[in-house]
Amino acid sequence: MVKNHATVWDNCLQLIRKNVNTQSFKTWFEPIRPVRLDNSALTIQVPNKFFYEWLEEHYVSLLKSTIKKELGDKGRLEYQILMAGSQAAAEAPKRQAATAAGTLPKKERNSSFGPGMVDTEHIKNPFVIPGIRKIKVDPQLNPNYTFDNYIEGDCNRLARSAGLAIAKRPGSTSFNPLVIFGDVGLGKTHLAQAIGNSVVKKLPAKTALYVSSEKFTNQIIQSIKNNAVNDLVNFYQLIDVLIVDDIQFLANKQKTQEIFFHIFNQLHQSGKQIVLTSDRPPKDLDGMEERLISRFKWGLSADLQAPDLETRMAILEHKMSREGLDLPQDVIEFICYNIKNNIRELEGVLVSLVARSSLNQRQIDIGLTKEVVKNFVTEINKEITVEFIQQLVAEHFSVDVEKLQSKTRKRSIVIARQLSMYLAKNLTDKSLKSIGETFGGRDHSTVIYSCRTVQDLMETDIIFKDTVQELEKKIRLSLNEK
């Protein structure tokens, strides 16, 4: 059977899918298109240089072994990089995945002064008091915003990895500019400033600067009033890593956009790094000049999604570790089940909880936690009920709920019933008597016996213990999704 490029790549994808997680496969392999097969060389097309660099750095061994399995020992993989606009054809020279990751050409940098220094004798620095000469530029960064304090998850892996790469080689990667976008409270500012803090710490010869779009607009207004627009533009052209926060607020500000356009061009042409944050992707920025939007698309646009439950818990536990706090596990879970879409609120709950506990001399428990969480969310997730537990346990064991409430002594039903009672006791505020009544009018002693039986089984049967933990997690998550 004669192989063609599409067949070969499809076979490769089947092997790759078994060796990477679903999210990585969708992000890094589904966008790839096979182009041609010449003897033992398969050419694939990737969307941009960033894809090429990422594949070479993280998946070169996997790609090499996969190609050899499909095409033999002489098999090799070559890349085409898809260019934007009229240059849709591949432009970059072919690169072989069997070799080590290559270094893309670095752009020339212009620097006339010492590390982190600008000459304010001729160029006015809008961040310092006028008249001071050759002062080190204050990067305007929050020192707490670092990569170490930025927990990685599926929700932010692409953006964080790109940020780390930029911090190592600002201006020399293919993702320039980097546009980080997402909803409020997901860590855009933290990640953008982490890049700046890393540059300041590890590359002291580079000048990094963080500025909000509001402050930048005010500087534009003042420079126009003082007839000093050129001074402002010249100052920004000396920055090696420029971080502009909330770029969407430049919308409909024509003069500000015009000046920013010239600053952007000069920095980009000089090999300087630009990092932008926004609450939406570049294509959805209303009130922005098309020429700016076009430039925002030059590099990489990476979105931040709401973190999943495990990532939220990791974030909260990291914050607790930094603050020297130790909260009960049920408190941590309750907070993370109810605060879902805003990391800032997640940390705010923790601060409020500790403050209220200290001021009122109260122990941190579920009761106090519920009082605090109510100030952050309009509706706390529904309480777990005995009926809901019965339903999920019955589904898991493929029995009818009525069987759990019946008098039958069939072993499979008894185990499901006892497990339901155990979960009801641990996950609800119901009394033992109330729980027993829900299971066909049984008394509290039956509930106690059932709970002890389940506890004993968990200590001696690892599989049963896993089942209990799986059901407990499923109950919480199912309610959280409603």
Q: Say if residue 85's pLDDT is above 50.
A: no
Long-range contacts of 308-311 (CB under 8 A, 24+ apart): 308/153, 308/154, 308/155, 309/336, 309/337, 309/477, 309/480, 310/153, 311/151, 311/153, 311/154, 311/155
Handedness of CA 256, 233, 84, 59 (dihedral sign): negative
* Domain match, 282 and 204 both: yes
Residue 82: pLDDT band (50, 70, 90) is low
- Round the average pLDDT of the chain to a whole number and report it: 80
Q: Same structural domain for residues 471 and 441?
A: yes
Buried b (16+ CB within 10 A) or exposed e, 323-337: eeeebeeebbbbbbb
d(CA 68, CA 356): 62
Kindly state whether residue 132 falls inside one of the protein's structural domains: no
pLDDT of residue 135: 46
Judged against a pLDDT cut of 90, whether residue 189 lies above it is answered with yes
pLDDT at 277: 94
The DSSP symbol for 80 reads E
Q: Return the number of other C-beta atoms located less than 10 Å from residue 231's C-beta.
A: 17
Task: Name the CA radius of gyration of the chain, rounded.
Answer: 29
**Token pair belonging to 108:** 């020339």
- Return phi, psi of residue 295, to 5°: -75, -35
Q: Are 296 and 174 found together in one domain? A: yes
Confidence of residue 105 (pLDDT cuts 50, 70, 90): very low
pLDDT(122) > 50: no
304, 322, 352 - which closes a domain: 304
Predicted confidence (pLDDT) per residue in 399-439, tens digit: 888 888 888 888 889 999 999 999 888 887 777 888 888 89
217-268 pLDDT per residue, tens:
999 998 888 888 888 888 888 899 999 999 999 989 989 999 999 899 889 8
Tokens of 215: 């402050």
Q: Which residues contact 330 (CB under 8 A, 6 or more apart)?
A: 366
Phi, psi of 279 (to 5 degrees): -90, 5
Residue 98 has pLDDT above 90, yes or no: no
Q: Is the distance from CB of 436 to CB of 447 less than 8 angstroms?
A: yes
Q: Mark whether 173 and 224 lie in a shared domain.
A: yes
Within 13 Å and on the Cβ side, how many CA atoms surround 173?
A: 26
**314 and 279 part of one domain:** no
Q: Kindly state the percentage of the chain with pLDDT values over 90.
A: 17
Domain boundary among 328, 351, 373: 373
Top-ranked range on mean pLDDT: pick from 106-120, 339-353, 354-368, 456-470? 456-470
In a domain, 448, yes or no: yes
Query: What token pair was written down for 110?
Result: 């212009």
| Residue 447 forms part of a structural domain | yes
Query: CATH no. for residue 315?
Result: 1.10.8.60
Residue 177 inside a domain? The answer is yes
pLDDT-derived band at 1 (thresholds 50, 70, 90) equals low
| Structural domain containing residue 351 | 309-373
Is 464 contained in some domain? Answer: yes
For 428, residues 6+ apart whose C-beta sits below 8 A from its C-beta are 383, 384, 385, 386, 389, 435
Same domain, 335 and 468: no
Q: Please check whether residues 300 and 334 belong to one and the same domain.
A: no
pLDDT value for 378: 55
